[in-house]
Amino acid sequence: MWPRLRPCSHGRHRDHQGGRRLLALSAARSAPVMSFSVSQHGDVAIIDVEGQLVVSNRQELKQRVLDEVDKGTTKVLVDFAHAGYIDSSGLGVLVSLAKRIRETGGDLRLANLNEDLQTLFELTKLDTLFQISETRDGALASF
């Protein structure tokens, strides 16, 4: 467990023993882990997401997808079979990517949302923006 930290005047924090610690130390230890893998299925780029899509890693996903778009890919499937959580910044990146891909005449589709993620997309009405399939095969067949 981390000691409680109190702010000090020069941007550092003091713990209860009087020692100094940088705030970034505790933030670095709690950063969520996410990994991506990219594969091709015909003319569809498949991005497999594992972990949590949050503010600290959303740019990595965005760059991976944009790299595929820059190569000429117009069909992108993001598979969330191994993802557990998406925060508002992660949702924002997905919306931004969908817009960008549609501007090139393509489409971004989603697959394998768990029950919590499906509910999130329904509550935010993003299920009307994205075509969401229960399975990867279903999503691939829908292109």
- How large is the C-alpha radius of gyration of the chain? 19
As a whole number of angstroms, the distance between CA 142 and CA 115 comes to 21
Q: Which of 22, 32, 104, 69 is nearest to 78 (CA)?
A: 69
Q: At what angle do helices 88-103 and 58-70 cross, to 10 degrees?
A: 10
CATH of 34-142, one of 3.30.750.24, 3.40.800.10, 1.10.3720.10, 3.40.50.300: 3.30.750.24
Q: Higher model confidence: residue 108 or residue 8?
A: 108
Structure tokens, 13: 């924090």
pLDDT digits (tens, 9 = 90+) for 1-52: 444 545 545 444 444 444 444 333 333 344 567 788 999 999 999 999 999 9
Looking at residue 126, what DSSP letter applies? Answer: G
Q: What is the pTM of this model?
A: 0.76
pLDDT tens-digit map of 110-138: 999 999 999 999 999 999 999 999 999 99
Running DSSP on this structure, what letter comes out for residue 113? -
Residue 138 and residue 117: Cα distance in Å, rounded? Answer: 18
Q: Structural domain boundaries of the chain?
A: 1-30, 34-142
